[in-house]
Amino acid sequence: MASRAADIQAHPHFVPALVLILIGAFTKSAQFPFHFWLPDAMAAPTPVSAYLHSATMVKAGVFLLMRLTPVLAGSGWFELAVTAVGLVTVLFAAFIALFKHDLKGLLAYSTVSHLGLITFLVGLGSPLAAVAAVFHVLNHATFKAALFMVAGIVDHETHSRDMRQLGGLWRFMPWTATLSMVAAASMAGVPLTNGFLSKEMAFTEAVNGTAGVWAWAVPIAVTLAGVFSVAYSLRLVHDTYFNGTLGDVPNPHPHEPPLGMKAPVVLLAVVCVVVGLFPSMVAGPLVHAAATAMAGKALPEYHLALWHGFNLPLLMSAVALAGGVALYLLLARARRLHGILSEDWFGPVTGRALFERGIDGLFALSARISTRLENGSLQRYLAWLLASAIVVAAWPLWGSGLGTGSRPTLPVTPLALVVWVVLLATCVALVVMHRQRLVSVVLVGLVGLVTSLVFVGFSAPDLALTQLSVEVVSTALLLMGLALLPAQSPKESRWPRQLRDAGLALAGGAGVAWFAWLVLTRPQDSIAWYFLDNAVPKGGGTNVVNVILVDFRGYDTFGEITVLAIAAIGVYALMEGMRTRRPGADNAGRAWTFARQPLLLRVAAGVVLPLALVFTVYIFMRGHGLPGGGFIAGLITAVALVLQFMALGQAQAEWWLRAQSGQRFVRWLGSGLAVAGLTGVGAFVWGRPFLTSAFGHPHVPLLGELPLASAALFDLGVYLTVVGSTLLTLSVLGSVSQGTAAASNASNNQGAAA
């Protein structure tokens, strides 16, 4: 990115991207007006606060600005925004910190102020400003972590952090007070500390990095921030350890903490002094490496030294020290430090107030949108979903000029024409009679049967068998579910809604047809050759469709049977324990159930079930070489079981299904998924990827050569899952309906009359 900085800055989207990046960085590093979260986060334990709020978490935004400086700097927009926000944050937070009574609250706002100083230096964009910014990041981490630790020690010993209650702690905790003074001196920029060096470098860049009217305004503003920094540092020390006697605190007998509590503070205070005395030796290499990365180029010559002679930055440091002491004494004498002076002065324009009003507005807007959209109408939800899908799909294609491609079309055969006419007539009948639930299900099944004929026409017997079996099973299960509902759905839609639905249906159907026409009339490079060439050598089977399902795309098939199992368990979870009373006859007076199931159906079911199971084994075993496989075998078994359920009759079937625990069929699902999954995991033993199949052709006496493949075990898992899903759904739907004795008698009489 740095190597293409010019291209990035010349892009028309650069300014919006810059604004979004800066908002994220400013918020993360608590820059005004996004600063309010940092003082509110002081509830953490003190070591956590010391680690996160002085050295790591709040520095993430500053780090991002530094890291992206080679990419974003030089555009003018970056320098203006970052410098302005940093300068405002320095002044604002330092001023607020002066009037905070909580030790950690004062340190929180001082952290915001110092982060603003670092942001200001980053915005200047000069190589030496990068040095000053990196140096102050390190120095701030040392003295601020030490002060947070000290605040924790004071809280631990007195059980209070309120400086209005503290005072006179020097008498009880002289060592802690000394360490506090060293760290506070570094925060204030007192000579011989590391804070003095980086703050003086910041003053230097404030003088050298500005021009025009800002040549005097910016140095004055930075100096004023230094005055506030000295004042709140002096207040922290004076109001805590001197300033009279210890007030009414929960623990009036504090003492020095154990050495283990003071050791981190001692280490950090020593670093503050050692870096202040020997900056080039201790911190020089680290600062140079980081500043070079931030500047994105070689740095000019500079020196990290304690003394740079008499100059304007030194004068600014002296003014800040003297002005800070004078300001604190003035405010302390006038008791203004304990008044109402705080961030509350700014009232409704504070960052917190603006943020909370914005959040409240978003919640109110979402509530209004939800009220308009979520009215409980499934028809409206579906209409919005379809309309959105149509718009999203049509948007990139509209006006693209796409038309019929160059691929020649095939001639229309008489058989295809008949199939199309049947399909169109079925769809029209479905639209006209869609409120008749039984007729609708049968017509939908007829559409599926026509689809299976299409598969036959394209020489896809596997797909045709699958489609045919799915239609039979799904139609039977849907009829069982619809048996719990009235025969006709009520007419709810008025003509405006009917026009809307018709428009959505026509737009969706025409759009899909048009898109399919665009695809089918264009030449394409098929990947079928790969599967045709590799089905035998890599999959060990001549039935390419089955090899794809259990080998090349076995992971996809595993996902599909998992979804099937989830759907069946969903039916079980939703309807288990549900009971309803079913009438003995429908609205037309036709019997709902027979007194005894038709003889032909009972005889046929008794013959079909064993034959179907034998045929299932045959279809399953031949699946890898000829049309068949576990999925088709499972569907054939399911069809036989559905037929058996119908032949048993309502009473016997429901009694049998209620006797079978739904948990048993859930275990079928689990067994099927386990077999399929373990087959895939078994490939790990030979160091192969998941679901890699193995195959061979051993020669067996009498039987001859047998084609064997591990994919057959995977197919077995598919078979168990399909059968288990069917049985579980049957058991749930069959156990839901219970007829009363009167209803059963009426049904029997009507059945006999029929």
Q: Give 163-224 as a 3 state SS string.
A: CCCCCCHHHCCHHHHHHHHHHHHHHHCCCCCHHHHHHHHHHHHHHHCCCCCHHHHHHHHHHH
pLDDT in tens, 617-660: 888 888 888 888 888 898 888 888 888 777 776 555 555 555 55
> Which positions ≥6 away from 132 have C-beta within 8 Å?
121, 198, 201, 202, 204, 205
Dihedral (CA of 148, 151, 155, 156) sign: positive
Backbone angles phi, psi at 66, to 5 degrees: -65, -45
352/61: higher pLDDT: 61
Q: List phi, psi (to 5°) of 416.
A: -65, -40
Q: What is the tens place of the pLDDT at every residue in 237-252?
A: 888 888 777 777 777 7
Structural contact between residues 323 and 227, judged by C-beta atoms closer than 8 angstroms: yes
The whole-number pLDDT of residue 745 equals 43
Report residue 552 as tokens.
Answer: 């090349």
Total residue count of the chain as it appears in this document: 754
pLDDT in tens, 452-498: 888 888 888 888 888 888 888 888 888 877 777 777 777 767 788 88
The whole-angstrom separation of Cα 161 and Cα 152 is: 8
Q: How would residue 537 be classed by pLDDT, with cut points 50, 70 and 90?
A: confident
Domain boundaries, given as residue ranges, for the chain: 2-341, 348-374, 375-404+493-523, 412-492, 538-754
- How many CB atoms within 10 Å of residue 106? 26
Residue 695 is given by DSSP the state E
pLDDT at 749 over 50: no
pLDDT for the residue numbered 364: 92
pLDDT at residue 581, rounded to an integer: 62
| Entry pTM | 0.56
Letter string b/e over residues 504-521, b meaning 16 or more CB atoms within 10 A of that residue's CB: beeeeeeeeeeeeeeeee
Residue 351's pLDDT band, with cuts at 50, 70 and 90, is low
Confidence of residue 721 (pLDDT cuts 50, 70, 90): very high
Among 42, 65, 64, residue whose Cα is nearest residue 54: 42
Q: What is the pLDDT of residue 395?
A: 86
- Please state the separation of Cα 635 from the chain's center in Å: 38
Give the pLDDT of residue 744: 45
Give the pLDDT confidence score for residue 387 in this predicted structure: 92
- What's the pLDDT at 597? 66
The tens digit of pLDDT for each residue in 23-57 reads 999 988 888 887 777 777 776 777 777 777 666 77
Residue 255: φ, ψ to 5°? -155, 175
Q: What is the pLDDT of residue 580?
A: 66
Other C-beta atoms lying within 10 Å of the C-beta of residue 161: 22
Under a CB-based contact definition with an 8 Å cutoff, are residues 31 and 116 in contact? yes
- Which pLDDT band holds residue 743 (cuts at 50, 70, 90)? very low
Tokens 């052709």 locate to 697
Per-residue model confidence (pLDDT) at position 753: 40
pLDDT of 384 higher than 50: yes
- C-alpha distance across the termini of the chain, in Å: 83
What the block records as the tokens of 34 is 């996004």
**In this model, does residue 563 exceed pLDDT 90?**
yes
Residues linked to residue 436 through DSSP beta bridges, in sequence order: 488
Q: Identify any residues that bridge with 162 across adjacent strands, giving them in sequence order.
A: 102
SS3 558: helix
Higher-pLDDT residue of 741, 162:
162
Assign 746 a pLDDT band (cuts: 50, 70, 90). Answer: very low
The whole-angstrom separation of Cα 667 and Cα 664 is 5
Give the pLDDT confidence of 673-684 residue by residue, as tens digits. 999 989 888 888
pLDDT at 635: 87
**696: enclosing H helix or E strand:** strand 695-696
Integer CA distances (angstroms), 220 to 137, 202, 204, 315, 672, in order: 22, 12, 12, 12, 77
Per-residue confidence (pLDDT) for residue 366, from 0 to 100: 92
Is 375 a residue whose pLDDT tops 90? Answer: no
Q: Quote the tokens at residue 505.
A: 């249906």
Lowest mean pLDDT among 25-39, 131-145, 607-621: 25-39
More confident residue, 363 or 100: 363
Please state the three-class secondary structure of 396-453 as a single string: CCCCCCCCCCCCCCCCCCHHHHHHHHHHHHHHHHHHHCCCEHHHHHHHHHHHHHHHHH
Q: Is the pLDDT higher at 207 or at 580?
A: 207
- In the numeric block, which tokens belong to residue 292? 């070079």
Antiparallel, parallel or unpaired: β 699-700 and 695-696: unpaired
Q: Among 339-353, 357-371, 425-439, which is the least confidently predicted range?
A: 339-353
Helices (H) and strands (E) in the chain, counts: 30, 4
What is the chain's mean pLDDT, rounded? Answer: 81
Rounded mean pLDDT, 500-520: 89
Q: How far apart are CA 186 and CA 98, in angstroms?
A: 17
Confidence of residue 58 (pLDDT cuts 50, 70, 90): confident
CA distance 326 to 379: 74
